[in-house]
Amino acid sequence: MDLMPIILSLKIAAVSTGITFFVGMYAAWKTANMIHGKGLLDAVFTLPMVLPPTVTGFFLLVFFGKSSLIGQVLSNCDFDLVFSWRGAVLASVVVTFPLMYRTTRSAFEQLDPNLIDAGKTLGLSKLIIFWKIVFPNCLPGILGATILSFSRALGEFGATIMIAGNIPGKTQTASLAIYTAMQAGNRPLAYQWVLILMLISFTAMLVMNAVNSRQELLVRRGGGR
Amino acid sequence: MALIADIEKRVGNFHLKTAFKVAEGEIFGLLGESGCGKSMTLKCIAGIETPDRGRILLNDRVLFDSEKGINLIPQKRKVGYLFQDYALFPNMTVEKNIEIVLGKRESAEQYIEQFYLKGLEHHYPFMLSGGQQQRCAIARMMASKPEVLLLDEPFSAVDKGLKWNLELQVLELLDQMKKPTIFVTHNKDEIDHLCEKVGILSRGQMKETGTKETIFRHPKTAAAAKMTGCENVFPMSEGEYAYVGIPPEAVRPVDSEADADITGRVERIFRENEETVLIVRIQRHIFFYRCPNVLFDGSLAVGDRIFLAVDKEKVWYLES
SS3 annotation, A67-89:
CCHHHHHHHHCCCCCCCCHHHHH
CATH number (domain holding residue A62): 1.10.3720.10
pLDDT of residue A172: 93
Asked whether the beta carbons of residue B87 and residue A115 sit closer than 8 angstroms, the reply is yes
Q: What is the pLDDT of residues A54-111, one digit of tens each?
A: 999 999 999 998 888 888 888 888 888 888 999 999 999 999 999 999 999 999 999 9
The one-letter amino acid at A116: I
Q: Rounded to whole angstroms, how far apart are CA atoms A44 and A50?
A: 11
pLDDT tier for residue B97 given thresholds of 50, 70 and 90: very high
Q: How far is B102 from chain A (nearest CA, A)?
A: 9
Predicted-complex ipTM score: 0.83
Q: How far is A3 from chain B (nearest CA, A)?
A: 42
Q: For A151, list phi and psi in degrees, rounded to 5.
A: -65, -40
Asked whether the beta carbons of residue B47 and residue A125 sit closer than 8 angstroms, the reply is no
Q: Rounded to whole angstroms, how far apart are CA atoms B302 and B264?
A: 11
pLDDT tier for residue A222 given thresholds of 50, 70 and 90: very low
Query: A107 near A142, Cβ under 8 Å?
Result: yes
Does residue A63 belong to any structural domain of this protein?
A: yes
Q: What is the pLDDT of residues A125-153, one digit of tens each?
A: 999 999 999 999 998 889 889 999 999 99
pLDDT of residue A74: 85
DSSP B174-225: HHHH---EEEEES-HHHHHHH-SEEEEEETTEEEEEEEHHHHHHS--BHHHH
Segment among B4-8, B98-102, B223-227, B235-239 with least mean pLDDT: B235-239
Q: Which of A114, A124, A220 sits opposite B85 (nearest CB)?
A: A114
First to last CA, chain B: 34
Asked whether the beta carbons of residue A120 and residue B47 sit closer than 8 angstroms, the reply is yes
DSSP chain B: -EEEEEEEEEETTEEEEEEEEEETT-EEEEE--TTSSHHHHHHHHHTSS--SEEEEEETTEEEEETTTTEE--GGGT-EEEE-TT----TTS-HHHHHHHHHTTSS-THHHHHHTT-TT-TT--GGGS-HHHHHHHHHHHHHHT--SEEEEESTTTTS-HHHHHHHHHHHHHHHHHH---EEEEES-HHHHHHH-SEEEEEETTEEEEEEEHHHHHHS--BHHHHHHTT---EEE-SSSS-SEEE--GGGEEE-SSGGG-SEEEEEEEEEE-SSEEEEEEEETTEEEEEEEETTT--S---TT-EEEEEE-TTSPEEEB-
Closest chain B residue to A123, measured at CA: B75
Class of domain B2-78+146-224: alpha beta
Tell me which of B58, B89, B128, B150 to substitute to probe the interface with A (most A C-beta atoms closer than 10 Å): B89
Tell me which of B11, B42, B71, B75 to substitute to probe the interface with A (most A C-beta atoms closer than 10 Å): B75
Does residue A104 belong to any structural domain of this protein?
A: yes
The contacts of residue B299 (CB under 8 Å, 6+ apart) are none
Percent of chain B whose pLDDT exceeds 70: 99
Residue A197 belongs to domain spanning: 4-220
**Number of domains making up chain A:** 1
CA-angle at A207, arms to A206 and A212, nearest 5°: 100
Domain range list for chain B? 2-78+146-224, 247-311
Average pLDDT on B234-260 reads: 84
Position A225 pLDDT exceeds 60: no
Asked whether the beta carbons of residue B90 and residue A222 sit closer than 8 angstroms, the reply is yes
Q: Rounded to whole angstroms, how far apart are CA atoms A159 and A137?
A: 34
Does residue A225 belong to any structural domain of this protein?
A: no
With b for 16 or more beta-carbon neighbours within 10 A and e for fewer, the B261-293 pattern comes to ebebebeebeeeeebbbbbbeeeeeebebbbee
**CB of B130 within 8 Å of any CB in chain A?**
no
pLDDT of residue A217: 62
Q: Which of A122, A133, A223 sits opposite B126 (nearest CB)?
A: A223
Closest chain B residue to A135, measured at CA: B91
Q: What is the pLDDT of residues A162-218, one digit of tens each?
A: 999 999 989 999 999 999 999 999 999 999 999 999 999 999 889 888 877 776 665
What is the pTM (predicted TM-score) of this model?
A: 0.83
Does residue A17 belong to any structural domain of this protein?
A: yes
The contacts of residue B107 (CB under 8 Å, 6+ apart) are B99
Q: Say which CATH superfamily domain B247-311 falls into.
A: Nucleic acid-binding proteins (2.40.50.140)
Greater model confidence, A47 or B273? A47
Query: A49 near A99, Cβ under 8 Å?
Result: yes
**CB of B81 within 8 Å of any CB in chain A?**
yes
Asked whether the beta carbons of residue A114 and residue B83 sit closer than 8 angstroms, the reply is yes
**Exposure of B319 by Cβ count < 10 A (0-12 exposed, 13-18 middle, 19+ buried)?**
middle
